[in-house]
């Protein structure tokens, strides 16, 4: 599909893509570009790439496809570093969880003769680093593309769609602002709530905390998994998608206040109705085959 692919940032997403690229032979040469020498050493040791470098400029200069897989807060640095070295006709794709800000930050660094296709795979785990990746992470998951102008570069959009399909994903094209709103509710708010619940428990008395851990088999255990996600990545997501996250948080607070009132006033019917309505969403998630967390099969 490509002659040379360079993946910048060899963490969970970058290394999972690299594994799939190798498995499906989607390019002749795969290059790892990561700021950490230790990451480059691990990547070569695990055989995840053909070459590895900490020099981003050098890493991208022969690439037909450059995949940016670093936290969104590092986009300005990465964009500025690669801008002058990108090959004419190359495609740059990021995989960041926030799209409007990704476009605002990266697009000014992409030269006229290079295509930029922002993307976001709706797949992940709470783990980070090159060892945590696995090749079937994207299997049966959505990859959302948010091209700045669909009409301007249809060939690049088509090629990137084919790339994600080769990784096992289903592809959807969406406006970046709409993406950020949808993901604000389905991903960013749940993470914020998980961090808050686990944070509240952490602030409890020492003896109560030990009981929280002891009896965590209930809902709390699932929250601790989500709240173990990478703090750099999530700090960057909350700050980059600030408007959508704050707006959705406001609505959430209003609903929570309604439930609080219903409990205080013993409004049994109102509570029951609310709890019944939400189970329909769970059914729909299962029917859409999006309920099972991805698991490594290697
Ligand atoms: P990760 O496991 O933490 O990996 C990020 C990698 O990028 C690390 O190796 C990191 O190195 C490297 N890096 C950071 N800043 C860099 C820079 N300036 N130059 C070069 N390399 C740099 O993160 P991830 O989970 O793969 O996430 C990567 C991107 O995918 C993020 O934008 C995230 O929003 C998006 N995403 C994540 C998920 C998910 O569930 N994890 C899902 C979909 C999309 P250090 O170790 O030195 O920091």
Spatial contact of 7 and 78, defined as CB atoms under 8 Å apart: no
Q: Is the CB of 118 under 6 A from ligand 1?
A: no
Rounded CA-CA distance 116/259 in Å is: 45
Q: Is the CB of 73 under 6 A from ligand 1?
A: no
Q: Distance (Å, rounded) from C-alpha 195 to C-alpha 185?
A: 15
d(CA 29, CA 5): 6
Q: Give the residue, by CA position, lying nearest to ligand 1 atom 42.
A: 124
- CATH H-level superfamily of 2-174: NAD(P)-binding Rossmann-like Domain (3.40.50.720)
In this predicted structure, what is the pLDDT of residue 120?
97
Q: Whose CA is nearest to atom 23 of ligand 1?
A: 11
In percent, how much of the chain has pLDDT > 90? 78
Q: Residue 26: CB within 6 Å of ligand 1? A: no
Buried b / exposed e over 6-25, threshold 16 CB at 10 Å, is bbbbbbbbbbbbbbbbbeee
Produce one character per residue of 253-287: b if its CB has 16 or more CB atoms within 10 Å, e if not. Answer: eeeeeeeeebeeeeeeeeeeeeeeeeeeeeeeeee
For residue 236, how far is its CA from the centre of ligand 1 (angstroms)? 11
Can you tell me the distance from the alpha carbon of 1 to that of 149, in angstroms, rounded to the nearest whole number? 23
Ligand 1 pocket member 69 (CB < 6 A): yes
Are residues 43 and 35 in contact, defined by beta-carbon separation less than 8 angstroms? Answer: no
List pLDDT tens digits, range 188-231. Answer: 999 999 999 888 888 876 777 777 777 777 778 888 889 999 99
> How much is the average pLDDT of 157-180?
97
Q: What is the pLDDT of residue 239?
A: 97
pLDDT for 298: 39
Q: Is the CB of 81 under 6 A from ligand 1?
A: no
Ligand 1 centroid to Cα of residue 70, in Å, is 4
Ligand 1 pocket test target in 70, 103, 186 with most atoms within 8 Å of CB: 70
Distance (Å, whole) CA 133 – CA 69: 12
Mean pLDDT for all residues in the chain:
92
pLDDT at 1: 93
Tokens of 30: 């795969």
User: What is the whole-number distance in angstroms between the Cα of residue 14 and the centre of ligand 1?
Assistant: 7
Given the CA of residue 10, which atom of ligand 1 is nearest to it? 9
Tokens representing residue 278 in the block: 């939400």
Nearest CA to ligand 1 atom 10: 9
Residue ranges per domain, the chain?
A: 2-174, 178-287
Please name the CATH architecture into which domain 178-287 falls: Orthogonal Bundle (1.10)
Rounded-to-integer distance, Cα 226 and Cα 293, Å: 12
Cα 12 from Cα 56, distance rounded (Å): 19
Q: What is the pTM of this model?
A: 0.90
Per-residue pLDDT reduced to its tens digit, 23-44: 999 999 999 999 989 999 999 9
Rounded-to-integer distance, Cα 89 and Cα 114, Å: 5
Q: Is 11 in the pocket of ligand 1 (CB under 6 A)?
A: yes
């Amino acid at each position: 599909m490509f002659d040379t692919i360079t993946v910048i940032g060899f963490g969970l997403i970058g290394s999972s893509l690299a594994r799939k690229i190798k498995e499906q032979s989607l390019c002749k040469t795969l290059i790892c570009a990561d700021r950490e020498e230790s990451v480059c050493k691990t990547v070569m040791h695990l055989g995840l790439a053909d070459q590895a470098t900490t020099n981003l400029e050098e890493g991208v200069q022969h690439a037909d496809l450059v995949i940016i897989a670093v936290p969104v807060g590092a986009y300005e640095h990465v964009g500025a570093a690669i801008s002058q070295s990108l090959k004419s006709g190359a495609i740059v794709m990021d995989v960041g969880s926030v799209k409007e800000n990704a476009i605002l930050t990266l697009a000014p660094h992409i030269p006229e003769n290079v295509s930029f296709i922002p993307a976001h795979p709706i797949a992940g785990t709470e783990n980070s680093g090159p060892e945590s990746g696995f090749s079937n992470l994207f299997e049966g998951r959505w990859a959302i593309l948010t091209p700045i102008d669909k009409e301007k570069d249809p060939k690049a959009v088509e090629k990137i769609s084919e790339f994600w399909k080769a990784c096992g994903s289903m592809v959807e094209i969406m406006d970046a602002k709409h993406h950020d709103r949808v993901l604000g509710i389905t991903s960013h708010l749940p993470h914020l709530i998980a961090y808050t619940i686990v944070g509240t428990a952490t602030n409890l008395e020492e003896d109560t905390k030990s009981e929280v851990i002891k009896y965590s088999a209930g809902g709390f255990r699932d929250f601790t998994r989500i709240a173990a996600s990478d703090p750099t990545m999530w700090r960057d997501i909350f700050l980059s998608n600030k408007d959508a996250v704050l707006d959705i948080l406001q609505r959430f607070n209003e609903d929570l206040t309604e439930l609080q009132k219903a409990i205080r006033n013993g409004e049994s019917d109102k509570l029951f109705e609310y709890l019944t309505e939400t189970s329909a969403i769970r059914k729909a998630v299962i029917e859409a085959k999006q309920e099972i967390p991805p698991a490594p099969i290697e």
